[in-house]
A = this chain, B = another copy of it.
Amino acid sequence: MSDSPGAALRDLRERKPLIHQITNYVVMNETANATLAIGALPVMAHAVEEVEEMASAAGALVLNIGTLSRPWIEAMVLAGKAAGGPVVLDPVGVGATTFRTETARRILDEVDVAIVRGNAAEVAALAGLEAETGAEIARTAAQRLGVVAAVTGRVDHVSDGTHTTAVANGDPLLATITGSGCISTALTGCFAAVRPPLEAATIALGALGVAAEDAAREAEGPGTFHARLYDALYTLRPEALDERTNISDA
CA distance A104 to B57 in the complex (A): 21
Interface size on A, residues (CB 8 A): 54
Is the Cβ of B231 less than 8 Å from the Cβ of A227?
no
Minimum distance in angstroms from A125 CB to a CB of chain B: 14
The answer to the question of A133 belonging to the interface, with a C-beta cut-off of 8 Å to chain B, is no
Is the Cβ of A66 less than 8 Å from the Cβ of B44?
yes
The answer to the question of A26 belonging to the interface, with a C-beta cut-off of 8 Å to chain B, is yes
Cβ contact of A176, chosen from B36, B44, B49, B98, cutoff 8 A: B36
List residues of A (24-82) whose CB comes within 8 Å of B's CBs: 24-30, 32-33, 36-37, 42-47, 49-50, 53-54, 57, 66-71
Q: With A32-B179, A42-B178, A223-B228 given, name 20 new contacts (CB 8 A).
A: A24-B44, A27-B29, A28-B67, A29-B179, A33-B177, A33-B223, A36-B176, A37-B222, A45-B67, A45-B68, A45-B97, A54-B97, A69-B71, A220-B235, A221-B231, A222-B234, A224-B227, A224-B228, A226-B227, A226-B230
